[in-house]
């Protein structure tokens, strides 16, 4: 199975636990021989309420549907997916998976970086994770030169007194507009 197809299948499987999901990285840039998968998503969240015997609320916890889907997927040996035991990442905003796949006529492990974000960070995260690294670094440097800063997946206007004002970037184009940089198709980013 080609990495592109593997990424599409994984995104499809995870989509039922997400409000939004897209493939990023070298696959989105149409690189000839991608070696890994990068996916950006906004998980669907639900509230779990724990009550005592009398119906009084003891605690409430936000739970991600994405985590439930990932648990099912990685516990199914037939899926081929597992949390990467070498590069251990299973946090709230970044997870690392790997898949054993036949690719280029040989068995190899295909890593997948899963970047978990929210509506507020989508534009910045999706742009940065699409890359390549030099293009992402150029945008971050441009922001600094314009008195802005990319920090924690958000774009901030930084004032002389050190205070910051959030610049909304719910879509990728919003990030480009804020930086006064012309829209560049992913395959043309270099």
Q: What is the CATH number of the domain that holds 172?
A: 3.30.210.10
Residue 21 shares a structural domain with residue 48: yes
User: What's the confidence (pLDDT) of residue 101?
Assistant: 62
Residue 10 shares a structural domain with residue 85: yes
Q: Assign residue 162 a region (left: φ > 0; alpha: ψ between -120 and 50; beta: otherwise).
A: left
**Mean pLDDT taken over the chain:** 92
Domain of residue 96, CATH code: 3.30.460
| Domain end (from 78, 95, 116) | 116
Number of domain units in the chain: 2
Query: What torsion, rounded to 10 degrees, do the Cα atoms 182, 184, 189, 190 define?
Result: -30
CB 102, CB 1: distance < 8 Å: yes
pLDDT tens column, 4-43: 999 999 999 999 999 999 999 999 999 998 999 999 999 9
Helix axes 122-130, 133-145, angle to 10 degrees: 130
Residue 140 shares a structural domain with residue 50: no
Query: What distance in Å separates the CA atoms of residue 39 and residue 58, rounded to the nearest whole number?
Result: 36
Q: What is the mean pLDDT of residues 123-133?
A: 97
| Domain end (from 60, 81, 116) | 116
What is the extent of the structural domain holding 132?
121-190
CB within 8 A of 168, min separation 6: which ones?
A: 120, 174
User: What's the confidence (pLDDT) of residue 63?
Assistant: 83
Residue 129 shares a structural domain with residue 110: no
User: What's the confidence (pLDDT) of residue 111?
Assistant: 94
User: What's the confidence (pLDDT) of residue 102?
Assistant: 55
| Domain end (from 116, 142, 161) | 116
Residue 25 shares a structural domain with residue 105: yes
Q: What is the mean pLDDT of residues 151-159?
A: 95
| Phi, psi for 133 (deg, rounded to 5) | -55, -40
In this structure, what DSSP letter does residue 90 have? B
Residue 33 shares a structural domain with residue 70: yes
User: What's the confidence (pLDDT) of residue 172?
Assistant: 97
pLDDT bin (cut points 50, 70, 90) of residue 60 is confident
């Amino acid at each position: 199975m080609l990495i592109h197809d593997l990424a599409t299948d994984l995104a499809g499987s995870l989509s039922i636990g997400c409000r939004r999901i897209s493939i990023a990285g070298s696959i989105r840039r149409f690189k000839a021989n991608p070696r890994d998968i990068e996916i950006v998503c906004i998980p669907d969240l639900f509230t779990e309420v724990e009550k005592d015997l009398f119906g009084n609320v003891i605690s409430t916890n936000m739970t991600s549907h994405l985590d439930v889907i990932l648990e099912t997927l990685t516990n199914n040996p037939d899926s081929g997916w597992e949390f990467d035991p070498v590069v251990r990442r299973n946090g709230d905003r970044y997870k690392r998976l790997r898949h054993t796949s036949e690719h280029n006529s040989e068995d190899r492990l295909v890593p997948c970086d899963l970047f978990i974000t929210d509506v507020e960070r989508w534009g910045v995260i999706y742009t940065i994770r699409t890359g390549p690294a030099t293009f992402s670094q150029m945008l971050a440097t441009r922001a600094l030169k314009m008195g802005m800063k990319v920090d924690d997946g958000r774009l901030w206007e930084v004032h002389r007194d050190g205070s910051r004002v959030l610049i909304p970037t719910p879509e990728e184009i919003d990030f480009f507009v804020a930086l006064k940089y012309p829209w560049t198709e992913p395959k043309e980013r270099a």
